[in-house]
Structure 1
Amino acid sequence: MNAISEISEMAEAHQAVAFQFTITPEGIDLQLSHEALRQVYISGLRSWKKKFIRMKNSFITGVYPASPSSWLFVVIAILATMYTRSDPSMGLIAKIQEHLPVSQSLSVQCQTVVSAVLFSTLLWLSLIFTMRLCLKQLLSYHRWMFEQHGKMSNTTKVWVALVRIFSGRQPLLYSYQGSLPNLPVPAIKDTLKRYLESVRPLMSASEFERMTKLATQFESTLGNRLQWYLKLKALWATNYVSDWWEEYIYLRGRSPIMVNSNYYGMDFLYVTPTPIQAARAGNTLHAFLLYRRKLNREELKPSRVPGTVIPLCAAQCERMFNTTRIPGEETDTVQHWQDSDYVAVYHRGRYFRLWLYKGGKMLSPREIELQIQKILDDPSPPSPGEEKLGALTAGDRVPWARTRKQFFSSGVNKRSLDCIEKAAFFVTLDDDEHGMMGDDPAASLDRYAKSLLHGKCYDRWFDKSFSVVVYKNGKNGLNAEHSWADAPVVAHLWEYVLATDSFQLGYNEEGHCKGDVDPNLPQPQRLTWDIPPECREQVSQSLAVAQALADDVDFHVFSFRDFGKGRIKKCRISPDAFIQLALQLAYYRERGMFCLTYEASMTRLFREGRTETVRSCTNESCAFVKALEGGEDTELCRRLLRLAAEKHQYLYRMAMTGSGIDRHLFCLYVVSKYLGVESPFLKEVLSEPWRLSTSQTPVQQVELFDLVNHPEYISCGGGFGPVADDGYGVSYIIVGENMINFHISCKYSCTQTDSHKFGAQIRQALLDLLALISPDQRDPARGSKTQAKKDL
């Protein structure tokens, strides 16, 4: 095997050189390879083009909200004013002229023009700085979010007009970054007050009294000292939370990232565009490359708060491609490379490098399909230890870090590992078939979710920013690593890929990709390994850890089609608040108690913002659930339902605008650790388990999908593993007007949780809430079912 590896390496090195030479009696015989030199030239040209585009975009973004052409307008305006014998600079142009270097070649008139141009440039830069400062101040205004829906105050109307004026025209993806406000540090008194209010329904009177004393003691002693350091960081850093959040919540975690951290996204629910695995891979990979090209050129439109002109931070997009999480003994790191023109592919225990460009040109979908088919047809077996190597990324982090350092720091193993880690992304060609199919489509969806979440525990590379999975029957999906970005960023990418694959690229009548084929494409390159027995033993140990974790995951995915957001909004209630209240009702019915509930919210209104927690279990939601379950009067229950929904909306808005609870307390805790001081209050707060962890996956690019004419092209959304051993993870996506998809996870090892039973409770809770609040008083639940059938 070693001899074969050496021969393979020598052949690879031989092909890499652009010239060969032989020493003869007549001298040195130099043989240039014109094709190799041509490829070197094209590769360099492509690299310089990308550098030029990046430089151009950096300049355009740097002068935003002004445009580069506005400089010329200012220069011409100043010169024209000067020719009318007036001085718009109030003597500054003359001052600049006095300090210009003396030159015999420049006439007095030329010196005046140069001085005017310099003054115009300084004036232009000052205007840019002023406009950016104004826009930053405007984007710091958040009262609009708390106004009643459909009733905009005059102040907000003026504010919207000013934002439009100062936002400029045709912004690039990162144009708003310099104008986004910094995340504010809430007052410690306010955070403690909101925290105590959030835990009141979960504690007895004596427990709450004890916690109140701890909070008061913390505020009067250690709290203000920690807050001072936090404010100092907020003045110095772009975002006082995000770097610590990435490091301590994600990168310093030593347990497996599979299931515990990584999450997944599913294909269309009812449609598989082609049953041919290689063809689906061809279109999917090409769509990813199209998105990456738009990303590199900053041609993607900046994300905004839905229905508004308010931009969201795009910083997380920067590490989407060519990124890998590198294991370390104490902490992992996120490594990002500027570019990569290939992907790493896994099939039947073998790893391949698949080039996606030739001569600086992106391969067509048909060409990628043929290259994928070559991998599928390759009969070669895995080398010893290769098949289950990916299990190292699925197990505990410390053994993987040590194994990587010991066995993958030199030689053929380092070259092959580098190939995977530096790839644009990772691709798995799975031999299984998945999707909604067979005699039991509900169970098949559950298996599909588990496959995307953890697979066989060795056939995904969980460290990559994301891994694309293409199944034998043409179904696909993706598994994403969490440290570099949050789900909405990956969801935006996935929406584009699904829409581009089906509606733009398409397939021919036989189900194959469209496009021309270059017959001289290089073969996909098989990666070679030399895995010693000691390394194989560690692979087996990591696989055992990962397999035990995967086998314990109980997953249930279902589509709720009795009604959707259209029916809920007719009742004048927020769909998200409605679903969160249904989750509270379902949990109470199953467990007979309430629990600390996590709902993910975003803070991307601020620069480098990520997430914040909405504590969905409130005094108001508990009062409503108790009243409903206690058989109280219908009108009282309706009133309590609306109060609970309004409170949830208020908390969600507070979280979005930087006035959440948990990120502030988390950062105070980090500061206390740096200072080496103990806080009983913070220690207890951060040890509280989230037994109900929830997240909504919003559809961000509605314009890409036509659910009226093509209702079958519905995304099923994505999901994640349970956060607590005795809790649930619930992800949901509101699709169109008439459907809500749920992804529920828990652990088999906990006898108190069952994903299918909880799913049934959620379904019934949704029906009961609509029956309570629906304007149709005859039989709301039945009416909703009838309407849903008509709509579908």
Structure 2
Amino acid sequence: MDEPRMGVIFTFSITQEGWNIKFNREVFNIIWQSVIRSWKKKCSIIYNKIINRIYPASVESLLQTILIFTTIHLTLRKVSYNLVEKILPYLFSSSHLNDLIGCFIISLFLWLVTIYTIRYVLKLLFMYKGWMYEARGVGKSFSFATKVWMNVTKLFSKWRKPMLYSFQGSLPTLPLPSIEHTTHTYLRSVQPLLHKDNYKRIERLANEFRCGVGIKLQRYLILKSWWSCNYVSDWWEEFVYLRNRSPIMVNSNYYGIDVIHMHQTKVQSARAATAIYSCLLYRRLIERQEIEPIVVRDVVPLCSWQYKRVFNTTRIPGIEIDRIVHFEDSKYIVVYHKGKYFKLQIYFKNRLLLPCEIELQIQSILKDTSKPCQGEEKLAALTAGERSHWAKVRKAYFSNGVNRTSLDAIDQSAFFVALDDVSYEYCALHAEKLDNYSRILLHGKGYDRWFDKSFTLCIGRNGKIGFNAEHAWADSPIMGTLWEFTIYFHVSLFSIYKEDGHTMGTPEFTPPSPIRLQWDFGPDCHKDIETSYLVAEELLKNVDMHIYVHDMYGKGFMKKCSISPDSYIQMALQLAYYRDTNKFSLTYEAASMRLFREGRTETVRSCTIESVAWVKAMELKSSTVDLRYKLLLDATAQHQKNYLDAMCGKGIDRHLFCLYIVSKYLKVESPFLKEVMNETWKLSTSQTPHGQTSKLNLKKFPNCVSAGGGFASVVEDGYGVSYIITGENMIFFHISSKYSSPETNSKRFANQIKRALVDMKDLFLEKKKLQSQANGFR
């Protein structure tokens, strides 16, 4: 009953004695504090932009430069090449003030020239990628030239502590490969997959493209590479994600899982409060740019531009194309529980609410016994269904009135929170519990996540958490850094929970009560919501998800074999896939392109001539241990080279993709590009990064093991495999396929992965035994 009165800033009335005006001081004070906070944030953003523009210098260095030049000018007027004396005649008059102005102008000019020269030199230094191919393996070191390069780069970039976006202006642009390189590499990648006659046909098409229309298309791409920071990223976001009209639930969105061995509280409201609070702290760090950029080998920074859209971001549906909308600020989140939506304020009296205060808000939502209005419970199914359908429904029923107000509240929220009425469980003896955990996070019930938001924070009834993330705005490593921070906050602060599981601390005031969002749906809108739900239900029922936990050995053994753990696992997947399907297929592995400005991903084609030869040798009983061992080393070396080439801008798939887009704009038909774009990736893989930040240290927190995350298979008759290497002796494989396909089975494929990993270890042990026997004989 107090809320309507609180919402009135002032009232006035006319009496016989004149005007009578009464101010609501509390509401006026809240508004005033909000204005102050908004302006502080704007000033901070402007200041940070200036600081980043002049990195690695600082404002202090400018003041020092001005002081030095002023001192030299005033004390040593007869010094040769006194630049201040040369510009004094062009100023207003010959006064001491003009001397100071002249000193300031010359100092500022020389300082800017010096700083931007250093920034350009840094950009040239960051273009060097030779270090990527060196020091791979035990006992190896960098070349002398690379060591010199490292020291020079550190000298130019370590003047002061960098902010999150400090290196953005110094990162190199993505290089454009030549047509010759791309077609040659492409032909090599498909050679082991095609019949001899079919390969000759593709080779002929590639040669015709290289010598014909490809030259014209390449010229347009050269122009785009000159004019843009990254010739791929904008088209990749638009055509791969935003123009896709199929549902993003299952087909695009991905998920992440909590730590599995630690369970500090089973109180849902307490864990929700600490998880929400940690996410908000991370948002503050991004806004203030207090997160240090990830720097590889303490020398080369990764691009940070994707961090800007982690929070306050949503995907808006369109008839033909969606759009990503980012809001500068948001003072609330939206929480979903048992079919109802609540707007939850996260700031009060000009400060962020504490976990103990947020817990009170969550408890009030959990205790709410009201019923959802008709159509409200399954409303989020609209975000899970066909995109064009959602766009039409949004325009028809959410353009004005109470529906528009409530939908805007969701769109403009910092992020979305789902309080689930089921538990998230893990048990080593019951694999199906972890499988169910992943399914809950990937799609839930089809209507209990807002799939358009940048991410939905999911809280289980037993206090375990997870997330579901939209893919268009950024790639999974960005969400990975947020998740590492959230997990670190949970496991590092052992005093954050009381003995009864609730959060520590005493609320300083009663936090604002959650506001129930209101909706008004007619019969036609109910039908449209149900239509989307039926699409979502059909999708989620077809997901065959299984998580295989491999704890026989991990990267510790792989490193002893002098093989990259990622290459080792990719070869295991090749062997497992061949045993499962009795054939080879194009294999997609995502490689990060963040060594370049605004870089996203490139494709590593893991199925190679070398991997096929090794797999065949493993399946041929007459093959010797020495042959299998040699072929495996060749296969992993080739994969490692392909992976490094992709990271260094020498990949081919994004280049082919952009050439295809140019051909469509120019309305030019290319049989070769058409053939390439129609290829299907029946084995799609990705490694979930672990330990991107220094905070999540498994030596300090040995039980802080996250199961990583995963995604659904991208084709009807294929597999999607996401894996995370945790610690020295554990690997999680998230395997997905479709129940509708008679050719695939996730649990069967998991068994093949297990078998492949066992056979590979046995191969190395047998080789080591033979070497020992040979040494003993000598």
Q: TM-score band, normalised by the shorter chain?
A: over 0.9
Q: For structure 1, which segment, 770-779 or 612-621, has the greater mean C-alpha deviation from structure 2 after superposition?
A: 770-779
Change in CA separation of 1:728 and 1:148 when aligned onto 2, cut-off 3 Å: same
Give, in whole Å, the separation in 1 of the partners of 2:128 and 2:300. 10
Percent identity, aligned pairs only, is 50
**Correspondence 1:384 to 2:371:** no
Residue 690 of structure 2 aligns with which residue?
Answer: 699
Residue 475 of structure 1 aligns with which residue?
Answer: 464
Give, in whole Å, the separation in 1 of the partners of 2:436 and 2:254. 15
**Correspondence 1:341 to 2:328:** no
Give, in whole Å, the separation in 1 of the partners of 2:613 and 2:34. 66
Give, in whole Å, the separation in 1 of the partners of 2:701 and 2:599. 35
Give, in whole Å, the separation in 2 of the partners of 1:542 and 1:638. 52
TM-score between the two structures when normalised by the length of structure 2 = 0.96
Q: Is the 8 A contact 2:625 2:766 kept in 1?
A: no
**Correspondence 1:552 to 2:539:** no
Q: In structure 1, the residue corresponding to 2:212 is in which secondary structure? A: helix
Residue 556 of structure 2 aligns with which residue?
Answer: 566
Question: Alpha-carbon deviation of 1:211?
Answer: 0.2
Query: What pairs up with 1:379-418 in 2 under 5 angstroms?
Result: 379-418=369-408
Give, in whole Å, the separation in 2 of the partners of 1:28 and 1:373. 45
Q: In structure 1, the residue corresponding to 2:492 is in which secondary structure? A: helix
Query: What pairs up with 1:663-682 in 2 under 5 angstroms?
Result: 663-682=654-673
Q: 1:142 aligns with which of 122, 126, 129?
A: 129
Question: Alpha-carbon deviation of 1:77?
Answer: 2.4
Question: Alpha-carbon deviation of 1:91?
Answer: 4.8
Question: Alpha-carbon deviation of 1:709?
Answer: 5.3
Q: Please tell me the residue identity of whatever aligns with 1:672.
A: S
Q: Is the 8 A contact 1:571 1:774 kept in 2?
A: no
Give, in whole Å, the separation in 1 of the partners of 2:506 and 2:174. 50
Q: Please tell me the residue identity of whatever aligns with 1:131.
A: I
Q: Please tell me the residue identity of whatever aligns with 1:503.
A: S
Q: For structure 1, which segment, 589-598 or 55-64, has the greater mean C-alpha deviation from structure 2 after superposition?
A: 55-64
Q: Please tell me the residue identity of whatever aligns with 2:659.
A: L
Q: Please tell me the residue identity of whatever aligns with 1:657.
A: C
The one-character-per-residue Cα deviations of 1:630-659 (angstroms, maximum 9, x if unpaired) are 121111111110111110110001100111
Q: For structure 1, which segment, 110-119 or 682-691, has the greater mean C-alpha deviation from structure 2 after superposition?
A: 110-119
Question: Alpha-carbon deviation of 1:96?
Answer: 1.9
Residue 360 of structure 2 aligns with which residue?
Answer: 370
Q: Please tell me the residue identity of whatever aligns with 1:281.
A: A
Question: Alpha-carbon deviation of 1:558?
Answer: 2.1
Question: Alpha-carbon deviation of 1:777?
Answer: 4.3
Change in CA separation of 1:25 and 1:84 when aligned onto 2, cut-off 3 Å: closer
TM-score between the two structures when normalised by the length of structure 1 = 0.94
Q: Please tell me the residue identity of whatever aligns with 2:329.
A: D
Residue 132 of structure 1 aligns with which residue?
Answer: 119
Q: Is the 8 A contact 2:6 2:24 kept in 1?
A: no
Q: In structure 2, the residue corresponding to 1:275 is in which secondary structure? A: coil
Residue 454 of structure 2 aligns with which residue?
Answer: 465
Give, in whole Å, the separation in 1 of the partners of 2:377 and 2:614. 54
The one-character-per-residue Cα deviations of 1:271-314 (angstroms, maximum 9, x if unpaired) are 22210000000100000011011110000010122x34210000
Residue 575 of structure 1 aligns with which residue?
Answer: 565
Give, in whole Å, the separation in 2 of the partners of 1:440 and 1:766. 21
Query: What pairs up with 1:138-287 in 2 under 5 angstroms?
Result: 138-149=125-136, 150-167=140-157, 168-287=159-278
Give, in whole Å, the separation in 1 of the partners of 2:78 and 2:522. 80
Give, in whole Å, the separation in 2 of the partners of 1:86 and 1:663. 60
The one-character-per-residue Cα deviations of 1:327-350 (angstroms, maximum 9, x if unpaired) are 000000000000101100000000
Q: Is the 8 A contact 2:626 2:767 kept in 1?
A: no
Q: Please tell me the residue identity of whatever aligns with 1:484.
A: W
The one-character-per-residue Cα deviations of 1:344-376 (angstroms, maximum 9, x if unpaired) are 000000000011110111111011111100000
Give, in whole Å, the separation in 2 of the partners of 1:140 and 1:87. 44
The one-character-per-residue Cα deviations of 1:695-740 (angstroms, maximum 9, x if unpaired) are 0011134632343454322111000010111000000001111111
Give, in whole Å, the separation in 2 of the partners of 1:338 and 1:577. 41
Q: Pairwise CA RMSD of aligned residues?
A: 1.7
Q: 1:486 aligns with which of 461, 464, 475?
A: 475
Residue 52 of structure 1 aligns with which residue?
Answer: 43
Residue 112 of structure 1 aligns with which residue?
Answer: 99
Change in CA separation of 1:178 and 1:708 when aligned onto 2, cut-off 3 Å: closer
Q: 1:642 aligns with which of 633, 646, 651?
A: 633
Q: Provide structure 2 residue ranges, at least 5 long, that are not aligned to the other structure.
A: 772-778
Q: Is the 8 A contact 1:561 1:739 kept in 2?
A: yes
**Correspondence 1:508 to 2:495:** no
Q: Please tell me the residue identity of whatever aligns with 2:636.
A: A
Instruction: Show structure 1 runs of 4+ deviating over 6 A.
Output: 86-89
Give, in whole Å, the separation in 2 of the partners of 1:14 and 1:687. 62
Question: Alpha-carbon deviation of 1:169?
Answer: 1.8
Q: Is the 8 A contact 1:353 1:524 kept in 2?
A: yes
Q: 1:616 aligns with which of 597, 606, 621?
A: 606
Q: For structure 1, which segment, 419-428 or 11-20, has the greater mean C-alpha deviation from structure 2 after superposition?
A: 11-20
Change in CA separation of 1:494 and 1:88 when aligned onto 2, cut-off 3 Å: farther
Q: Please tell me the residue identity of whatever aligns with 2:142.
A: M
Question: Alpha-carbon deviation of 1:95?
Answer: 2.9
Change in CA separation of 1:110 and 1:23 when aligned onto 2, cut-off 3 Å: closer
Q: Provide structure 1 residue ranges, at least 5 long, that are not aligned to the other structure.
A: 1-7, 781-792
Q: In structure 2, the residue corresponding to 1:467 is in which secondary structure? A: strand
Question: Alpha-carbon deviation of 1:770?
Answer: 1.5
Question: Alpha-carbon deviation of 1:86?
Answer: 6.2
Give, in whole Å, the separation in 2 of the partners of 1:312 and 1:774. 38
Q: In structure 1, the residue corresponding to 2:113 is in which secondary structure? A: helix
Give, in whole Å, the separation in 2 of the partners of 1:448 and 1:89. 75
Residue 441 of structure 2 aligns with which residue?
Answer: 452
Give, in whole Å, the separation in 1 of the partners of 2:362 and 2:31. 25
Residue 430 of structure 2 aligns with which residue?
Answer: 441
Q: Is the 8 A contact 1:467 1:478 kept in 2?
A: yes
**Correspondence 1:18 to 2:14:** no
Give, in whole Å, the separation in 2 of the partners of 1:610 and 1:88. 53
Residue 517 of structure 1 aligns with which residue?
Answer: 507
Q: In structure 1, the residue corresponding to 2:457 is in which secondary structure? A: strand
Q: Is the 8 A contact 1:281 1:369 kept in 2?
A: yes
Q: In structure 1, the residue corresponding to 2:733 is in which secondary structure? A: strand
Residue 774 of structure 2 aligns with which residue?
Answer: none
Change in CA separation of 1:779 and 1:496 when aligned onto 2, cut-off 3 Å: farther
Give, in whole Å, the separation in 2 of the partners of 1:111 and 1:45. 38
Residue 526 of structure 2 aligns with which residue?
Answer: 536
Give, in whole Å, the separation in 1 of the partners of 2:160 and 2:78. 31
Residue 785 of structure 1 aligns with which residue?
Answer: none
Q: Please tell me the residue identity of whatever aligns with 2:464.
A: K
Give, in whole Å, the separation in 2 of the partners of 1:110 and 1:245. 55
Aligned pair count reads 765
Q: 1:427 aligns with which of 391, 410, 417?
A: 417
Residue 788 of structure 1 aligns with which residue?
Answer: none
Give, in whole Å, the separation in 2 of the partners of 1:16 and 1:230. 56
